[in-house]
């Protein structure tokens, strides 16, 4: 049985790959070169649920070229429709209509460059608390802030109507307000 060997080689990049029984990465250049790529390699193969992919980096200058090579190998061997898109210094790996993996350079990139906006408040998950009580909101901000979730309250949406609390219990009223506000805003409440 012949094993497929994949290769990409130009003046600046040279990669070899095959499929075996486990994921494996090797690099010319010793431990320093290996450490530069191992987290990226493991993150990408784990996220894509790939097993048996064996990659050898002989020469490397372009992360885009490396990711393109890896995805080309996976397309040919596994028939997956994986695409890499470069955006503001990051590499976005998608399949169909799903974003699967984001590779950011070690030095990072500014959020303004990535999102093209000075308004970072639009970034990240937001939970809308169905109350105008700033004391309650402060407690929720303290709790959810540790999880990286921004908390808003009804004061951030002054045009929303008051919801009649017609339930028989606190829980029924809370659910009624949350469901109504969620329907009106399309937000997680």
Q: What pLDDT score does 44 carry?
A: 92
Q: What pLDDT score does 100 carry?
A: 94
CA angle, residues 95, 101, 102, in degrees to nearest 5? 130
Q: What pLDDT score does 1 carry?
A: 44
pTM for this model (two decimals): 0.66
Q: What pLDDT score does 95 carry?
A: 94
The secondary structure of residue 82, as a DSSP letter, is: E
pLDDT in tens, the chain (189 residues): 457 899 999 999 999 999 999 999 999 887 887 888 888 899 999 999 999 999 999 998 888 899 999 999 999 999 999 999 988 888 999 999 999 999 998 888 888 778 776 555 556 788 899 989 999 999 998 888 877 788 999 999 999 988 888 989 999 988 998 899 988 888 888
Distance CA 32, CA 52 (A): 24
Q: What pLDDT score does 54 carry?
A: 95
Q: Which residues contact 46 (CB under 8 A, 6 or more apart)?
A: none
The dihedral region occupied by 186, where left means phi > 0, alpha psi between -120 and 50, and beta the remainder, is left
Task: Give the pLDDT confidence of 7-22 residue by residue, as tens digits.
Answer: 999 999 999 999 999 9
Distance CA 133, CA 149 (A): 19
Residues 41/54, Cβ–Cβ less than 8 Å = no
Q: What pLDDT score does 119 carry?
A: 57
Among 133, 172, 183, 171, smallest CA distance to 153 is for 133
Q: What pLDDT score does 122 carry?
A: 59
Residues 125/187, Cβ–Cβ less than 8 Å = no
Where helices occur in the chain by DSSP H, the ranges are: 30-47, 63-78, 111-115, 134-145, 170-185
Distance CA 74, CA 93 (A): 12
Distance (Å) of CA 131 to CA 16, 101, 156, 173, 186: 58, 36, 10, 12, 16
């Amino acid at each position: 049985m012949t094993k497929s060997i994949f290769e990409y080689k130009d003046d600046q990049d040279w990669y070899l790959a095959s499929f075996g029984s486990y994921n494996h990465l090797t690099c010319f250049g010793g431990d320093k070169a290996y450490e530069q790529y191992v987290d990226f390699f493991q993150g990408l193969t784990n996220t894509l649920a790939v097993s048996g992919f064996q990659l050898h980096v002989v020469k490397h200058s372009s992360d885009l070229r490396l990711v393109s090579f890896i995805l080309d190998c996976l397309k040919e061997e596994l028939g997956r429709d994986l695409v890499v898109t470069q955006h503001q210094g990051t590499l976005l790996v998608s399949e169909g209509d799903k974003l699967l993996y984001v590779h950011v350079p070690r030095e990072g990139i500014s959020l303004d460059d990535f999102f093209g906006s000075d308004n970072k408040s639009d970034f990240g998950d937001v939970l809308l608390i169905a109350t105008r009580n700033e004391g309650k909101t402060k407690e929720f901000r303290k709790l959810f802030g540790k999880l990286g979730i921004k908390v808003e309250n009804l004061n951030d949406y002054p045009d929303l109507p008051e919801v009649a609390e017609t339930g028989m219990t606190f829980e029924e009223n809370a659910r009624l307000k949350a469901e109504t506000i969620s329907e009106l805003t399309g937000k997680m409440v």
